[in-house]
Amino acid sequence: MIFFDNYQFVFQLFLAGLLGGLIGLEREHKGKEAGLQTYSLVALGSCLFTVIALLLAESNIVDPSPIIIAIAVGMGFIGAGAIFRGDNTVKGLTTAAGLWVTAAMGMAVGSQFYLLAVWTTFLILIIFFGLGLLEEKFFRKEKQ
C-alpha cells in the first residue's frame, strides 16, 4: 500500500508543478516578474504542505487545519510582498491574486481534487489571457 501511495505522491507533486507552470508561462509571456518558476513553486509547495497535513491527520498525529491555514497566511505574506505602491499607482495586485489562487489550486491537488485543480487552472488562464485582453482593449487608462 505504501508503495502505491509513493507513486500517488509523485503524481500529485508533478501535477501541481505542471499546473502552476502553465500559469507561470502565461505570466512569463506577459513579462511579469513572478513567472514560471514562482508559480510552479507556489503550486508545488502548497500541494506538499497539504499532503503532509493530511498524512499527519490520517495518522492521528496532528489536526491538519492549522497547516492548511498557514498556507493561506503564508501566501498572504508573499502576496503583500508582490504589491508595490507608487505615487498614484498600485502594481502587483494581479500577481498577488494569481499566486494566492495558484496556492489554492496546489492545495486541491494535494487533497486529490484533481478535476477541481485542472478546472481552476483553466479558469485562471482564461482570466489572465481573456480578461487581460479585454481589460487592455477597453479599460486601460493611458500611461502618464
Top pLDDT among 138 and 44 is at 44
The predicted-structure confidence for 12-30, as pLDDT tens digits, reads as follows 999 999 999 999 999 999 8
Residue found under cell 500577481: 95
For CA atoms 12, 14, 18, 20, the dihedral sign is: positive
Residues 6+ away with beta carbon under 8 Å from 83? 90, 91, 92, 93, 95, 96
Q: What is the pTM (predicted TM-score) of this model?
A: 0.86
